[in-house]
Amino acid sequence: MLNHHNNGPLGPRPNHNSLGQIAALYGLHPLPAATYIIVDQMLFASEVASGFLLVALSFFVALALWLPITILQHYLWGDRWTVAASKAALGSLVTAIPTGLPSAIFLLWGGMGAIGWKHRPAQRDVIDTNGEEK
């Protein structure tokens, strides 16, 4: 039997009719994007200055960025923890690449987040007056 209500196995499917709604779903909050750009530029400058002897440093710095970016993305953008952690992991993986190119990626990703700013869903995880997270 055909399902005429556009329901998936987990309930109604989101209807992404505009660029803003798609950007809100896949975008990165501008603050984490700016953090990634700044850190990536500092890492790239140190790698070039050292003759690429500090390439291993990029991996550890990118690994250290994962948790703070996850927290920022969750609380500032309203992403679920798993989505915020996935976006942070992808961003950290790109930051570990020892070139200046990731900054352009983060500029586009943060720009996409800026476009989707007003199309974000309402905050789901809100702490009420009893101190319980909903």
| Alpha helices, H only, 27-76 | 30-49, 55-72
Crossing angle for the helix pair 81-95 and 102-115, to the nearest 10 degrees: 150
pTM, two decimal places: 0.74
- Where do the structural domains in the chain lie, given as residue ranges? 32-119
Contacts of 119 (CB under 8 A, 6+ apart): 18, 20, 21, 23, 24
Write out pLDDT tens, residues 16-46.
Answer: 567 888 888 888 999 999 999 999 999 999 8
Return d(Cα 21, Cα 114) in angstroms, integer.
Answer: 11
Write out pLDDT tens, residues 105-128.
Answer: 999 999 998 888 887 766 555 555
Phi and psi, residue 100, nearest 5° = -90, -5
